[in-house]
Amino acid sequence: MKVRVTITLKAGVLDPQGKAIEGALRGLGFAGIDGARQGKIVDLSLAETDPDKARAAVADMCEKLLANTVIENYDIAILG
């Protein structure tokens, strides 16, 4: 089973990389940008075939390693 974890900074946590991206896009002439936030994606291949069990296992992985919940949120998507 393929599972995608998307990790993003929590709202209110300064994201200097997102700010730099936003500035660069403006520099290229893109108008109407209200903000840019950078995150990361981790794609996992699991032996587990039950989506609920896979989701629970990945949530545990997020809490213990993949995300730093002091500053980051995570989202788990079952890709099939």
* Cα-based torsion angle of the residue sequence 77, 33, 38, 71 in order, rounded to the nearest 10 degrees: -90
**Which residues, other chains included, contact 64 with Cβ-Cβ below 8 Å and sequence gap of 6+?**
none
Query: If you ran DSSP here, which 8-state letter would residue 69 be given?
Result: T
**Which of 11, 31, 47, 65 contacts other proteins by CB under 8 A?**
65
27 near other proteins, rule: CB under 8 A? no
Q: Which residues contact 77 (CB under 8 A, 6 or more apart)?
A: 3, 4, 5, 6
Contact residue for other proteins among 33, 51, 68, 79 (CB under 8 A): 68
Binding window for other proteins (CB under 8 A); candidates: 26-34, 46-54, 62-70: 62-70
User: Does residue 5 belong to the site contacting other proteins (CB under 8 A)?
Assistant: no
Residues near other proteins, by CB under 8 A: 13-14, 16-17, 20, 64-66, 68, 70-71
